[in-house]
Structure formats: structure tokens, C-alpha cells
Amino acid sequence: MLFFFCFSFKARVSVVCRCCCSDDDEEEDSDELFRVRVIVAVVVPVVASNGDCLAEERIMEKYLAPSDLSSINPKTCKRSQWKRSLVELNGKFDRKYQHDVSGLLMQSYSEVNWFLGGAGSDYSQNPSGGQGISALEFDKKGVYLASVTKSGCLTVHDYESLHCDGSKEDETKQLLHISTGQQLDVVRWNVSNQDEVASTSMKSSEVCIFDIGYVSSEPVEVLRKRPTISVHGYNVHKGFSDIAFCSNDDSRLLASDVSGVINIWDRRASDLPCLELATNSSSPLNSIKLNADNQVIFGASKQGIIYMWDIRGGRSSTAFQNNKVVSYSPITAVKIASELEKIVSLKAQSNIVSKEIHSIDINPSCQYQLAFHLDDGWSGVLDVHSLKVTHIHCPPPPWLDDFNDLTNLHCLRKPSWLPAYSTYVVGSLSSNGLYLLDFYPDRSSPCHVDFNEEMQEIYGVKSQHKQNQFIPTSEGVTACIAHPLTGTIMVGTKHSSLLVISQTGGKSFQGAYDSPSFEGNLRSTS
């Protein structure tokens, strides 16, 4: 009994000795002597009493490492997930959290700068409405801003110069300033070649492409439409309403015309279209948009119809390979008025009729959302998967505010998406200002057709933050575009001025404390 206990206890003590000894280099025999002395000191009391030995063993067991760590702390406290820490893990915020703070973001915008005649046009020469900025476009990185006016001025601005103090832009920092002498309605950057910018007009049958690397007022290339002969033998000139570039091919350009056709050019082959996408209608196409992968193109008509063409290939691949095929029909067409009639609550309050579509645009943060803007100021979202209208915003009609200025009624207004948060920016038809519309892709959006404010409060959603915002501006808005990185909004007016709409009041991009003085300049809209 004594020998068995000593052997067992010797193993325990040797473990303790190895843990407690220093790392100094000692001889092996001295280490063994130390362990024997300890063992003898412990074994001697065993002869006296087994009870004392067991007590000593329990005391020393406290200093030994346990074999199973889980037995010490079997239960762990699970903490709730903190949403803000996700940015430290994956580099981005949760989409729900982004939507929660988007209301604070919209409240932080206001007009911070104003440039009289910023697009190079003098409104005072023709105040009857023949002037005004008709389109704005940022390049991919947001370094340059291109603008065109109804008076025929094409200007490429240095974006940084638009943040200077004063009401006059430093024209020496403009990369390009050309007066064409004819109306211009659209401007687009070549997505694949950021040195090229294209412009055209609804009164011209040509698309002019300029290279900002050349100091010249002449375009480097001019694309023309195929001539159309009328029944009387005259050549009919049909203008263009919008332009789109393919992001994966700098030689492919598309332009919609006022006869309801999308013309496609291969710039390597000819200055004439190689293909025409027809709508089977003579109604003008006001706006076109390519999706992110360049597979589907959308077109919006004056009759209130959105068309879709699939240009990926399949049966239609010969349309791009065979020059004999000059026309191709859409795969589907959606009449917006018919979809609006399916919204029961809207139909009960409004007389829904077909309305002209001024503009369409794809949400950069949600590719299946296609926003549309109608001529009466209504805006909404078409889900391109279900082909249903999911969001709608119906501002008061112009006559309700004694609106007498008919300038905005005759020009195509150009809204824009913010680069994040699914917020749609559109100029007001009845007053000088901008709407920031919450088009978040679920029922928590106040513009969603199935939005229920009472249900949102039951689920604990802060409804005071889920509101659209109206931002007053010094002049009437005709076009707007959001910076692709910072979200700063550039606004073109009917007086050919440029307005800078940015975040103020010391607020961060994620939202912060609402200053009472700043809130007084805003009013919420439903």
C-alpha cells in the first residue's frame, strides 16, 4: 500500500515541479535529487496517518491543471449582435442598418453652393424657357461633371472647383466648353473609355463624340442615323432622346430616337447603325438604360410603356451578326398605368390614366429595381423580376400650389439614384426643390405599395425616420445627378445654374444628431 501510493504521488509532484521550476539549464541528476526530496517529505506523514495524506493530496490537486476545461465554465453567456461592429468584420454595414440610418442621412442634405450660369448659358437672353440645363453626368470616378443646355453648350467641369466659395465657377478649370449653336438634350460618358463624352439632341440626327484629351471644339467622331424618306420624297430627320454605352465594349453605342427605335452602332464598322431595336410603335422613346451586365436594355416611351430587349444571344444572336436583320422586337412590354390600377389604395384615390415617362434608371444598389418618373411628377419602381410596380410617390399636382411656370412641363426631367441606401432624387414639378424618396426594396419603405405604418410600429420600427424629404432650392430643378462616391447631389436648373446639394450641420454619412435649426428648413412628404 505504501509503495503504490508513493509511485502515484511521485507522478503528481513531478508535474508540479516541472511547472514551477525556472528555465535555467541544470544537470539531470540534480533535478532527480530535487524530486526525491520532495517525495520523501510527503511520504513520511503517510506512515503516521492516511487521513492526513488524503488532505494533503486534495490541497495539491488545486494547483494541477484540470483535464477538462469545459467542466469549470459549462455555460456561456450569448450576447446580442451589435450591428455597427459588422463593418469591422466584413467592411460593410448590414442593409437593414443602412435603411435605419437613411432617414437621418436624407435630413442632412441642403443646398450649400450655387453657380449662376454654371453650365455656360445666359438665361437672361431668353427667359421664356428656351434655356436651362437639360442633362448632367458624372464620370465613373466622380472627377469630372459633364453638362449640356438647351442653348447648345457642352461643358466638362472639374468637380473639385464646384466646391469653391462664391457664385461664379472658375472657368479656367473647365476641361471642355463648346457652344454648338443647337439644342442639346443628353450627355453621356463612355463607360469603357472615360476620355470620351457623347451628346445629342431631339432635333438632330447625329451623335457627337468628344475626346476631353484634345483641345478642340470639333468632335472626334459623328454617328448618324439611317436616312428616312417620306411619301413625298423628303429626307425626314429624326432626333435622339438618350444615349447608352456598353461597359464591356467601347465601340458599342446605343441611342433612342423620337420614332420609337433604339439604334445600335459598331463604331469599328461604320458611322451608321448596324441594328435597330423596334417597339412596333411610332411613339418616341424618351429614355433607355442598360443593365449592369449589358444583357438587357430597357426603353421608356411617351405612351407610358416600358419595353425590354434581351441582347444576350440565343435565337436573337443572328440579329447582331447578320447585317440583313435591321429590326428586332422587344421580349416584353409593361404599361405603367395598367400596373398602377392594380394598387387598390391608389386606384380608390386617383383617376389613373396613361402618362408620359420622362426617365428610367436602375438602382445601383439593387439591380432589379427600375425607377421611372412620369410627366405629372409621379415617381415609382418597377420590379423587373415580377414586372410589378412595388413603390410609388404621388406629390401634389402643380395647380394645388398655384404653380404658373410652365417651363418644367415641356422639358424631360432627369432624376437620379444615390449610390447607396436606395434613395431616389427627383426635382419637384410644382415648386423649387428636390424630393429624396425612400425606395428601399421591402415593405418598410414608406413608398412601398404594401406599407403599413401601424404594423411598422408593432415591430418596433422608428417611423419618424422612415420618411421622404423635401429640400428647398433657390431655382427650379430640371436635372440632377449624384456623385458616385460621396453622394453629393449636383442640380441643373431652368436658369442654367448649377446647385450643390450636400450634407451639412456637422453630420456624418451614417447620420447624427438633428439640429433644430436645420430641421426647420425641411418638410417631410408622404
Task: Please check the confidence at residue 40 and state whether its pLDDT lies above 50.
Answer: no
Per-residue pLDDT reduced to its tens digit, 265-307: 999 999 999 999 999 888 999 999 999 999 999 999 999 999 9
Per-residue pLDDT at 461 = 53
Q: How many other CB atoms are there within 10 angstroms of residue 221's CB atom?
A: 15
pLDDT the model gives residue 516: 29
Question: What is d(CA 247, CA 306) in angstroms, rounded to the nearest whole number?
Answer: 22
Of the listed ranges 310-324, 338-352, 398-412, the least confidently predicted one is 310-324
| Residue 17 confidence class, pLDDT cut points 50, 70, 90 | very low
pLDDT value of position 62: 65
**pLDDT greater at residue 286 or residue 231:** 286
206-211 and 196-200 beta bridge pairing: antiparallel
Nearest residue to 283 via CA among 187, 360, 211, 354:
354
Would you give the end-to-end CA distance of the chain in angstroms? Answer: 90
Per-residue pLDDT, averaged over 347-351, amounts to: 89
- What's the one-letter identity of residue 485? L
Q: Torsion angle, CA of 336/342/348/354, rounded to 10 degrees?
A: 20
- Three-state DSSP class for residue 356: coil
| Mean pLDDT, residues 345-373 | 95
The residue among 271 and 168 whose pLDDT is bigger is 271
- The answer, as to whether pTM is greater than 0.85, is no
Residue 305 has what pLDDT? 98
| Predicted confidence (pLDDT) at residue 500 exceeds the cutoff of 50 | yes
pLDDT grade for 20, boundaries at 50, 70 and 90: very low
Does pLDDT of 129 surpass 50?
no
Question: How would you label 224-246 residue by residue, b for 16+ Cβ within 10 Å and e otherwise?
Answer: ebeeeeeeeeeeeebbbbbbbbb
Kindly indicate the confidence band of residue 502, based on its pLDDT and cuts at 50, 70 and 90: very high
Task: List all residues 6 or more positions away from 442 whose beta carbon is below 8 Å from its beta carbon.
Answer: 448
Could you read off the pLDDT of 323-337 as tens digits, one per residue? 444 578 899 999 999
CA-wise closest residue to 416 among 464, 466, 379, 457: 379
Per-residue pLDDT band at 57 (split at 50, 70, 90):
low
**pLDDT of the residue at 518:** 28
Other CB atoms within 10 Å distance of the CB of residue 443: 13
Q: Are strands 261-266 and 275-278 parallel, antiparallel or unpaired?
A: antiparallel
Residue type, 436: L
d(CA 433, CA 430): 9
The residues facing 424 across adjacent strands are 417, 437
Taken as a whole, the chain contains a residue count of: 526
Domains by residue range for the chain, with CATH: 98-525 (2.130.10.10)
The proportion of the chain whose per-residue pLDDT surpasses 90, expressed as a percent, equals: 48
Of 496 and 314, which is predicted with more confidence? 496
State residue 46's pLDDT score: 41
- Chain-centroid distance of CA 104 in Å reads 17
Phi, then psi, of 95 in degrees rounded to 5: -65, -35
Q: How many angstroms separate the CA atoms of 248 and 311, rounded?
A: 14
Alpha helices in 482-522 (DSSP H): 516-519
Q: pLDDT for 189-202, tens place per residue? A: 999 999 999 999 99
- Phi, psi torsion values for 514, nearest 5 degrees: -85, 120
Q: Across 133-185, where does the E strand assignment appear?
A: 133-138, 144-149, 153-158, 176-179
- Residues 324, 319: Cα–Cα separation, whole Å: 8
The pLDDT of residue 11 is 43
β partners of residue 393: 379
Residue of 494, 506, 429 whose CA lies nearest to 110 = 506
Q: Which of the given ranges, 45-59, 253-267, 406-420, 501-515, has the highest pLDDT on average?
A: 253-267
What is the rounded average pLDDT of the residues 366-374? 97
